[in-house]
Amino acid sequence: MSEVARQLEAMRAGSVEFYGEQELAERLEAVLARRRGPLRVKLGLDPSAPDLHLGHTVVLGKLRDFQRLGHTPIFLVGDFTARIGDPSGRKKTRPALSREEVERNAATYVAQASRVLDVGQAEIRSNGEWMDRLGPGEWIRLCSHFTVARLLERDDFAKRYAAGEPISVHELLYPFAQAYDSVVLEADVELGGTDQTFNLLMAREIQRDYGQTPQAVITLPLLVGTDGQEKMSKSLGNHVGIAEAPEEIYGKVMSISDELMADWYRSLEPRPEELPEGAWVPPDRGDPLARKQQLAAVLVARFHGAEAARGAAEQFRRVFRQKQAPDAVPEVRLDAGRDGARGLLELLRELSLAASNSEARRLVAQGAVQVDGARVRDANLRLERGRYLIKVGKRRFARVQVS
């Protein structure tokens, strides 16, 4: 197999679609013959939330594959496009984010990406660099390259338009901004989830209109969230954040269905070398519980190291199989007040186990709250002076000293 064929096979692995493969093969030949520099491979992520999650690692992993092949990975933080809000797959207009919200969310993006990608050897950019300086005349020129009819061919826009759902004008500008990023960065390849296909292919057309060779486009599968239904998203609460505590990652992975686990195996690609010799269980054989434990351990080790994976596995065994509390439960000392007791709902809120009294009341009504191992059904319970272990749901614990 030639080196061009070998690299194309590696690029294709795990993808859904590969657009412009033949054109890319020609550029790759020029790279290998040293007639030009390495391929420029773009991945843009909008900091619409502060955490990167497992779904992001699918495309980040493909960017890492290009990096290992000797090409230039471009990790683009979409600080400008996040303020527009990506309409891809949305049934209604996404609320606009302020510059301050975007900056807070973006603050740790590069550090989180470093858990997958060698950011020291990558090109790190923010599209606010050029989009904030783009004048009205350039915007008009950019938007002149596409028609409204073409935009409304987009599946999500078409469905919303047919249903009479509003489409804000700023949403129509999002694909133009994403395409212009490829023009500025002179991208040879752009990566994205399958929900980004329209935007990625539009960039090919815009690049051509700006006199550039169109980028190749590689789409990756969308990772379904822990609910087993929707695409992984922090806004839906079905995500596993890569910066979450090892015990939280391990517990969330162990909570997914066997059917979803098979899908995660395909998308997240745990490899035999990520586990001790002899510990590998093929994803299509063996005990489903063993495979799930294996996947949980691999993912924790990727982001926190092997020692953290062993600790998370031991804590899961202790907490969920032996019904014991974890070793490192945070303890808080709270004043008992004038009557020498504190209300349970108030405690849950102060311990950050519930966001509000109404949520705390709902958790109690659902039987999700335990005090010292006993399930609580009385939302009006008051805890007198003493030391208590409080558990909410399957994984959240706190110790409180009421004094």
Q: Strand pairing of 374-375 and 369-371?
A: antiparallel
39 is written with which tokens?
Answer: 């391929």
Rounded distance, CA 44 to CA 36, Å?
A: 24
Contact 79, 102 (CB under 8 A): yes
Domain ranges of the chain: 3-220, 244-321, 331-402
Residues 6+ apart with CB under 8 A from 369: 344, 348, 360, 363, 375, 376, 390, 391, 392
Judged against a pLDDT cut of 60, whether residue 321 lies above it is answered with no
For the domain made up of 3-220, the CATH class stated in words is alpha beta
Rounded distance, CA 71 to CA 354, Å?
A: 46
380 is written with which tokens?
Answer: 């009006």
Rounded distance, CA 310 to CA 297, Å?
A: 7
Q: Is the pTM of this model over 0.85?
A: no
Across 165-178, average pLDDT: 87
Q: What is the DSSP letter of 338?
A: T
Judged against a pLDDT cut of 70, whether residue 332 lies above it is answered with yes
355 is written with which tokens?
Answer: 């966001």
The tens digit of pLDDT for each residue in 85-107 reads 777 666 666 667 788 888 888 88
Judged against a pLDDT cut of 70, whether residue 326 lies above it is answered with no
How many contiguous H segments (helices) and E segments (strands) does the chain have? Answer: 18, 13
Range scoring the smallest mean pLDDT among 207-211, 261-265, 299-303, 317-321: 317-321
Range scoring the smallest mean pLDDT among 63-77, 162-176, 321-335, 381-395: 321-335
Rounded distance, CA 230 to CA 346, Å?
A: 33
Q: Does domain 331-402 have CATH number 3.10.290.10?
A: yes
Across 143-159, average pLDDT: 85
**Order of strands, edge to edge, in the sheet holding 386-392?**
331-334, 396-402, 386-392, 369-371, 374-375
Q: Which of residues 5 and 96 earns the better pLDDT score?
A: 5
Rounded distance, CA 188 to CA 176, Å?
A: 18
Q: How many CA atoms lie within 13 A of 285 on its CB side?
A: 3
Across 111-115, average pLDDT: 92
The tens digit of pLDDT for each residue in 257-288 reads 888 888 898 888 777 677 665 566 666 666 77
Judged against a pLDDT cut of 60, whether residue 324 lies above it is answered with no
The tens digit of pLDDT for each residue in 286-296 reads 677 778 888 89
Residues 6+ apart with CB under 8 A from 335: 402, 403
First to last CA, the chain: 73
Residue 329: per-residue pLDDT: 66
Q: Residue 242: pLDDT band by 50, 70, 90 thresholds?
A: very high
Rounded distance, CA 309 to CA 376, Å?
A: 32
